[in-house]
Amino acid sequence: MRVQHISKHIHHKPILADIDFSVEPGSIIGIVGRNGSGKTTLLRSLAGILTPTRGSIYIDGLDIFKHPEIKKQIIFVPDSTEALKNYSTKELIYLYKNIYPEFDTSYLFSLMKRFKLSQISKIGNYSKGQKALFTLITAFATGASYILLDEPTDGLDVIVKKQVLQLLVEEVSDRRLAVLISSHRLDELEFMVNEVIFIKQGKVDSHYELDTMKNEYKKIQLAFAEKMPETLKDEVEILDKTGKVYTVLIPRGNIPLEEKISESMPLFYEELPMSLEDYFVAKLGGPNDV
């Protein structure tokens, strides 16, 4: 899938600006950003629901807006089952079989059995967790190559969340699918994604492979006899401050800055493991940004 320079204006305001990236089979990409940064708009555009003001989305070289039949390779799983809640499982299977020629009913039943989901007369009657699992399972059964998930674990309990995430990882590795996930839950994304796209004010702020990204910054804990020198404060990203102990992020390999820290004679200096959340705070804004 090639997302080529898409921009989207809504009510004359730019919501997405010049978004450009590619999605390769076998990858799980996390789309991360603050509230209102344009994550859902991006996913809805990728599914062909919203028409970009500029740019387009291509699958196998075909523009999805000019060749909508190519969207058989995409399935969008929104954060609500509103559209399907009145269907019975049997009806939904009938519907999907007619939409997606590669829909695999036996595979669907095997996954339903695995997660103890019985056939039901109204999908809306499943519990919240069951609905999440069922929509995810049906999405995988369609045989689509690109699965677009909008906040897939929002509001789920820990057990179901674990099942959902495990299923995702298994499917991607077994079937060479590409999954794009928009989520606020950075701890969950960290568990499964191999690429992260940071969206800031409708633009791709950065697009990294997870491992590369973690090597870009260094998370350290520092303690000073008094407070941190003002000259240092301007150059580091303070993640946390408890008394005289600071947790900061600094760009890895910035030798002059490391020397400056060392010259400021910290009482304590320790490197901590980086998390996606640390990177998110560093990249997408400080505590005063909403």
For binding to other proteins (CB under 8 A), which residues are involved? 8, 10-11, 41, 44, 47-51, 68-72, 74-76, 78-87, 91, 94-95, 98-100, 128-129, 131-132, 135, 151, 154-156
| 73 or 247: CB nearest other proteins | 73
For the bound state, the minimum distance from the C-beta of residue 136 to other proteins, rounded and expressed in Å, comes to 10
Q: How far is the CB of 50 from other proteins (least distance, A)?
A: 6
CB of 53 to other proteins, least distance (A): 9
Q: Which is nearer to other proteins, 91 or 190 (CB)?
A: 91
Least CB distance to other proteins at residue 235 (A): 41
DSSP the chain: -EEEEEEEEETTEEEEEEEEEE--TT-EEEEEE-TTSSHHHHHHHHTTSSPPSEEEEEETTEETTT-GGGGGGEEEE-S--TTTTTS-HHHHHHHHHHH-TT--HHHHHHHHHHTTPPP-S-GGGS-HHHHHHHHHHHHHHTT-SEEEEESTTTT--HHHHHHHHHHHHHHHHHH--EEEEE-S-HHHHHHH-SEEEEEETTEEEEEEEHHHHHHHEEEEEEE-SSSPPHHHHTTSEEEEEETTEEEEEEETT-HHHHHHHHHT--SEEEEE---HHHHHHHHH--TT--
Cβ closest to other proteins, residue 99 vs residue 267 = 99
Please identify, using beta-carbon distances, which residue of 22 and 86 lies nearer to other proteins.
Answer: 86
Nearer to other proteins, 98 or 118 (CB): 98
Smallest separation, CB 254 to other proteins (Å): 41
